[in-house]
Amino acid sequence: MTISAIKKNLHQYIDRADESKLKAIYLLLENDVCSLNYSKEELEKFYDILHKYENGTIKAFPVDVTHSEIRAQVSGK
């Protein structure tokens, strides 16, 4: 099945679905749906940081490393 067909089927299903099914679907997708709503300023900042990272102007660290360092500082280690 093509992506286009999947989108069409989902749109048709959502148009017909009852309230409880819509709420259940939304709960499953809520984080993805909400994360797609970036402002123009947020996107500009993101791309600015991305370009700086790609050019070697700034460093970046994986989230798990950053979390470990923060936990260590908070616990006094």
pLDDT in tens, 3-56: 999 999 999 999 999 999 999 998 998 877 776 677 889 889 989 998 998 999
Report the pLDDT value the prediction gives residue 75, as an integer from 0 to 100. 87
Report the pLDDT value the prediction gives residue 36, as an integer from 0 to 100. 66
Domain boundaries, the chain: 1-37, 38-77
- The answer, as to whether pTM is greater than 0.85, is no
b/e per residue 41-57 (b: at least 16 CB within 10 A): eeeeeeeeeeeeeeeee
Q: Average of pLDDT values for 60-71?
A: 88
